[in-house]
Amino acid sequence: VAMLTAVRFLAGIGLGGAMPNAAALTAEFVPQRQRPFAITLTIVCIPVGGVIAGLAAGAIIPPFGWRVLFASGGVVPLVLVILLFKVLPESPSFLAGVRDRWGELRSTLRRMGHDVDDDVVFVTAGGVDGPRGSIAELFSPGLRRDTLALIGAFGSCLLAIWMAFLWIPAMLTDPSIGFTQPEASLALSLFNFGGVAGAIAGALIIQRIGSRPALLTISAAAIVSALVLSAMPLDPRAAFNAMAMFAVSGALFNAVQATMYALAAHVFPTSIRGTGVGATVAVGRVGNVAASYVGSWSLSVGGPPLYFQMWAAAMTLVFVFLAMIRRHIKGVGAPS
C-alpha cells in the first residue's frame, strides 16, 4: 500500500501539471470565439482516456492481472512524450517575451498561417519586459471573487467525478450487489463515454448562449440525475437502467468539469492565464483527495443511496460557486 501510494502521488504530480497547462496552451492558439470549444476538446480527452481505461481494465485484468494494465498505462505515455517533444509548439505569448527564442516564435506563427518577416520585433500585451503573472495577482480585488469561486467549483466537481472514477467498479462488484468485473468496467466506461458527448455538447451550448445559463442548467440536471440514481435499485437483472443513468450522469458531470477549464481561461487575462487555470485546478484537486474518503464513508454508512446523494450534494456546491462567478463567457447572441 505504501508503494502504491507513492507511485500514485508521482503520477498525480504529472497529471495535475499537464491538464491545466494543456488548457492554457490551447487558449493561446485559437480565436476567442472558438476558445471554449477548443479548450473543451482538449480537456475532453480525459474522459476519452477513462473510456479506454475502463474497456482495457475489463479486457486485461481477468486474464492477465492488474500489473499488465499498469505497465500498458506507463508505456503509452512514454511514447507520446517523445512525439510531443517534436510536434508540440510553445506558447506564442511566452516566446514573445524571450528574445533568444524569437526564431522559434516566427516558425510557430508561420505554421499557423501568418506571414512573418525575419526582422519582425515581438512584444507581449504588457511589453517584452513586463511583469510575469503571480499567484498574488489571482487575489487582486478584481479577480478575488472569481478565483475563489472557481476553486470551489473545481473542487466540488472533481469530488463528484472522482467518487465515480474510484468507487463505481468497487461498488458494483460488491457481493451484496453482484455485478461482474466486466459489467462494472462497462459502467465506468459509459460514465466516461457520456462525459465525452456531454462535454462537447456543453461547449457548443456555451458558445451559443454563454457559460452562466449553460453551466447552471447542466449543474442542476446533474443534481437531478444523482438523486434519481440514489432512488434506483442496483440490480444486475435490470442493468440497462443503471447503465443508462451512469452514461447520463457522466455526460452532465463532465460537461460541467471540462467546460470550466474554458471558463477559467476566460476569467484570467493572458498574463496570468496559465497561473490562474493551474492554481484554481490544483487547489480544487482537494476534491480528488476527498473523493477517496467521502466515497468510502458514504458506501460504508448508507450504501449506494447515500453515495449518490453525496454526488448530488457536491454538484449543488458546484451550482452555487458557478453562480458566484462574475466574468462568465458571453454567448454569440449575448449583449457585449
Per-residue pLDDT of the chain (336 residues; tens, 9 = 90+): 999 899 988 888 887 777 777 877 787 777 777 778 888 888 878 767 777 877 788 888 889 988 998 898 889 889 988 998 888 888 787 788 788 888 888 888 887 778 888 888 887 654 434 445 578 888 888 899 999 999 999 999 999 999 998 999 999 999 999 899 889 988 988 998 888 889 889 988 988 899 999 999 999 999 999 999 999 988 888 889 999 999 999 999 989 988 898 898 889 887 787 788 888 888 888 898 899 999 999 999 999 999 999 999 999 999 999 999 999 988 775 544
First vs last C-alpha separation in the chain:
54
CA–CA dist 226, 298 (Å, integer): 14
Name the one residue in this structure whose C-alpha cell is 443511496.
Answer: 305
Q: Specify the residue for cell string 458566484.
A: 324
**Residue 158 and residue 15: Cα distance in Å, rounded?**
14
Q: How far apart are CA 28 and CA 265, in angstroms?
A: 10
pLDDT tens-digit profile of 146-155?
Answer: 999 999 999 9
**Do residues 230 and 309 make contact, with C-beta atoms less than 8 angstroms apart?**
yes
Q: Which residue, among 274, 329, 307, has the nearest Cα to 28 in the 3D structure?
A: 274
303 Cβ neighbours under 8 A, 6+ residues apart: none
Distance separating alpha carbons of residues 28 and 19, to the nearest angstrom: 15
Q: Are 44 and 161 in contact (CB under 8 A)?
A: no
Report, in angstroms and rounded to the nearest whole number, the Rg of the chain calculated over CA atoms. 21
Q: pLDDT digit string (tens) for 273-293?
A: 778 888 888 888 889 889 999
Q: Is the CB of residue 196 less than 8 Å from the CB of residue 254? A: yes
- In this structure, what C-alpha cell is assigned to residue 41? 476538446
